[in-house]
Structure 1
Amino acid sequence: MFDLDKIVAAHQPNYLPWIGYFHKILKSDVFIILDHVQFSRRGFINRNRVKGPKGAVWLTVPVRVHGTMRIMDVHIDNTKKWNKKHADTLKAFYAKAPYFEEVYPILREVYELRWESLAEFNIEIIMRIVNMLDINRKFIRSSTLELQGKKMDMIIELCKKVGATVYFSGKGAMRYQDPKVFEKNGIKLVYQEFEHPVYPQRFGDFVPNLSILDMLFNVGIKNTREILKNL
């Protein structure tokens, strides 16, 4: 994609991420899991959507959050029976999907364990999906890099620490990133070009931007891998 450049991408450890998340991983050499940044209550760090008979439904991991907290410090609220509910919802929605038996057992194992850390739980699921899709990349947690900056300064700092020559960014960061600043620091800024694929999906009209699990259950691991590679 970028000749011999070392491509780095970064993102928070989201819960059951969408297809574009794994597209970003696939297009990078090194993927930084931003676990030291601030937890957002309205983002996708502890929730995502799957599709049922009545359309898209949120699955939300309950958390114990007070004030401003780093993602790595957020704990799951296990007073609620969320893990069984999520596993049962996936089974109810996708048991009749063509590739349910191929995918579900790998996820069920994770839900059967007790998790305290939201980041650890999310990362475990992300890595299981990465392994399913046979994506061989280097993963680094930002909390191990001792980063000091914020937003664009943080990204440039992490790029330097891992020896990146290209930063592969989501378009949502365009509002605060300056390509000239990256260039001055010897880093090429490239934005992700992503067109959401349409694939066979149960329950009526196609709904985009769901968890990648929807795609895995409906088209299978092999086909999901091929679709991602061709995006």
Structure 2
Amino acid sequence: MRLAGYQPHYFPRLHYLQRTLSSDVFEISDYLQFVRKHDFVLPNGSHQRGKSYQAHTPIKLVNGVFSLVVPTKDNLSTIMETPVVYTPDWRQKHLASIRSGYGRASQFHTLFLEVEALLSQQYASLGELTIRTVLWSIVRVITDEPIAKFSLSAVNQLLSKTKHPFRLRKIVLASETGVPAQEGNPNQWIVELCRKLRVCEYVTGGSASSAYMDYNLFAHHKVDVIVQDWKCPSYRQQFPSCGFQPNLSALDLIFNEPLHVRQGILE
């Protein structure tokens, strides 16, 4: 059994989805602290600060890549305790940008109403909003079939019953595992999650692998660490004069390509 984990992101980027789908169990780290920016480790070992994408998602517009940003009250709280600011109301601007970028995309008229419905609600926290967008993104690379609501229980039921080409069979919230929130050493926390969820493999990204992964600790607990090695293949995008832009928001792939192509890109 293989585990992957991530903080919830606003309409996550494609590498996030690919890592999620390549695991048997996906853990959403909902009780970690919200940060707008964090350090990325570059291939040469140096560090660079950049967007965390917990409240951002990159889409493609006529002039190139554009970030949709969810405004929040940044009070050093967890993701589930960080309020979304709705005054002024940003949702219509996001929907207008999405419509501008993807209104002519092949799957837009089939799926835009779902995105509109997701954003029409007011969420008590950033975590509630972003978890819903993560679940929607997962569903729409699993199936085109209608789903009544994008709740965790509904999506888990869908994963257990729907034939699809990915490993993913279950999604859990870290806050519901019984494993206490991370304090200090992230390696020990991940190991405890692996033990609790009875998995023997853990998928991590290249940045985490370079920054803090303690391979000896995982080996001691008989957990194999797998470093994600996925490069975004090209697929159909809008505004070809801007060139192909890899690893954009899930919205980009989902609106631009039919289901079988989405699945092939993320396998």
Gaps of 5+ in 1: 1-5
Matched with 2:150 is: none
- What are structure 2's unaligned runs of at least 5 residues? 38-51, 144-158, 160-168
Contact 2:105–2:255 (Cα < 8 Å) also in 1: yes
Distance apart, 1:49 and its partner CA: 0.8
Correspondence 1:40-79 to 2 at 5 A: 40-42=35-37, 43-66=52-75, 68-79=76-87
State whether residues 62 and 80 of structure 1, in contact with CA within 8 Å, keep that contact through their aligned partners in structure 2.
Answer: no
Q: Is the 8 A contact 1:7 1:166 kept in 2?
A: yes
Relative distance call for 1:210 and 1:148 in structure 2 (3 A) is closer
Asked if the contact 1:165–1:188 (Cα under 8 Å) also holds between the matched residues in 2, the reply is yes
Query: Is 2:108 the counterpart of 1:100?
Result: yes
Structure 1 residues 44 and 171, CA, compared in 2 at 3 Å: closer, same or farther? same
- TM-score between the two structures when normalised by the length of structure 1: 0.92
Give the AA of the match of 1:139. I
1:191 matched to 2:216: no
Contact 1:50 1:59 in 2 (8 A): yes
Structure 2 residue 254 is matched with structure 1 residue 221: no
Contact 2:4/2:204, CA 8 A, preserved across alignment: yes
Equivalent residue number for residue 80 of structure 1: 88
Give the Å deviation of 1:161: 1.0
The answer for the alignment partner of 2:136 in structure 1 is 128
Q: In the alignment, is the contact (CA less than 8 A) between 1:75 and 1:116 conserved in 2?
A: yes
- Say how many residue pairs are matched: 223
3-state SS of 1:194 partner: coil
Are the structure 2 counterparts of residues 123 and 45 from structure 1 closer, same or farther at C-alpha, using a change threshold of 3 Å? same
2:148 alignment counterpart: none
State the match for 1:139 in structure 2. Answer: 171
Residue aligning to 1:3: none
Partner Cα separation in structure 2 for residue 50 and residue 158 of structure 1 = 33
Alpha-carbon shift at residue 164 of structure 1 (Å) = 1.2
Match for 1:53: what amino acid?
V
Post-superposition offset of 1:139: 0.9
SS of the residue aligned with 1:64? coil
Tell me the CA shift for residue 148 of structure 1. Answer: 4.7
Per the alignment, in what secondary structure is the counterpart of residue 142 of structure 2? coil
1:226 positional shift: 2.5
Q: CA deviation at 1:56?
A: 0.5
Deviation at 1:141, TM superposition (A): 0.8
Contact 1:99 1:219 in 2 (8 A): yes
| Distance in 1 separating the partners of 2:88 and 2:24 | 38
Q: Residue by residue, what CA displacement relative to the aligned partner does 1:175-214 show, whole Å, maximum 9, x if unpaired?
A: 2112111010111111111111111212121111210111
Paired AA for residue 123 in structure 1: I
**Deviation digits for residues 40-74 of structure 1 (CA, Å, limit 9, x no counterpart):** 122100011101011011100000112x2111111
Of residues 35-44 and 148-157 in structure 1, the stretch that sits farther from structure 2 once superposed is: 148-157
Q: What CA distance in whole angstroms lies between the structure 2 residues aligned with 1:217 and 1:58?
A: 17
Q: Which residue of 1 aligns with 2:9?
A: 14
Question: Deviations for 1:117-149, whole angstroms, at most 9, x for unmatched residues?
Answer: 111111111112212222722111111233254
Amino acid at match of 1:95: G
Cα distance in 2 for partners of 1:90, 1:221 equals 19
Q: Does the 8 Å contact 2:31/2:181 carry over to 1?
A: no
What code does the residue aligned with 2:66 have? Answer: V
**What residue number does 1:211 align with?**
249
